[in-house]
Structure 1
């Protein structure tokens, strides 16, 4: 079944892309359709729709993206996750999520929400059950899957005022990328090339900068490991 797009998104912009579209293709298509840059993180960039109601999260490489999308679908009844309008895996291991527009909240409010999740208080119990179930699936399937992310930025506010949990799953980047640098054969054995082709292109806006020569050395090491495999 093709994805259903929110009215704020021109569906043709993505529907015209082939199955081999990667993160660059999606960025170009949306920018040409009037979307605008609105944020950059470690793993993804964000573009906002022309009507301002939705945002596209575009990652060159994100193993946990499908699990975040599963959380948004399976916990939608709680209204404590963002509305997900579309999700698409991209060539090379990238990930596209189209979500309702959200605003940041203060650190104290975000910390209180995270404490409630950790304690499984009654007001978030249904959400926590789904969060844990999906996280268990991610940990079982993915090498280098990290623990639940308690960064305050992962709690945001929807247009109707409700607090939502965003992107609580992540790959253990420091461990994964250290292994890619020091033992690329292990990464090549555990993550197919088709799912990590652009792993050196994540933005690293918070943890960076990433020197171009370091990126190139990692690409070369992984390519050599693939050749050996």
Structure 2
């Protein structure tokens, strides 16, 4: 696999004791001062101006060191898609996929240049429905056994099964001006999710804190039999 892009997040979504590392459900950085501070070490995957820290290519791996003591999380995504070859020359040549820590698998789609996560627009062990009014109900795990601790698919075999299910069962349509529906050509593909060693330490610390908070919350509840 080859690196596709990376994202810098300032806030991660959580469900009970599990962190959910799904791109569309995490909050990237949109602070102009922060973006200006990293501008010399990143470029947009699409070659446009950077307004949020999504879809970036790392030109200088020293940025990983620069951000190691901040509250930011660097999440890298890699794929086997051949069209990623055009981005190879922009990545810092000293950054190897083997330098990063593998976290799990996710699935994305591409429809006319627009990418979507299977969790929000397809079939995935976690589903997200932003039409629900109650935020606590928007996120739901429907296949616990296929997930790992980061809310990602835990192995490649399971990922491939979900990938084939999305390819065969999920269709995207647009409404044309005459009111008829046209099916979009959708390319579903697997993505390996990685992070640097400092982000991994932050994720572990965040998970431990979340587990402690859950334990404290449960232990402070009303005892059985109390009025």
TM-score, normalised on structure 2?
0.26
Q: Which has the higher helix share?
A: 1
The higher-RCO structure (CA 8 Å, 6+ apart) is: 2
Q: Which structure is higher in strand share?
A: 2
Q: Which has the larger radius of gyration?
A: 2
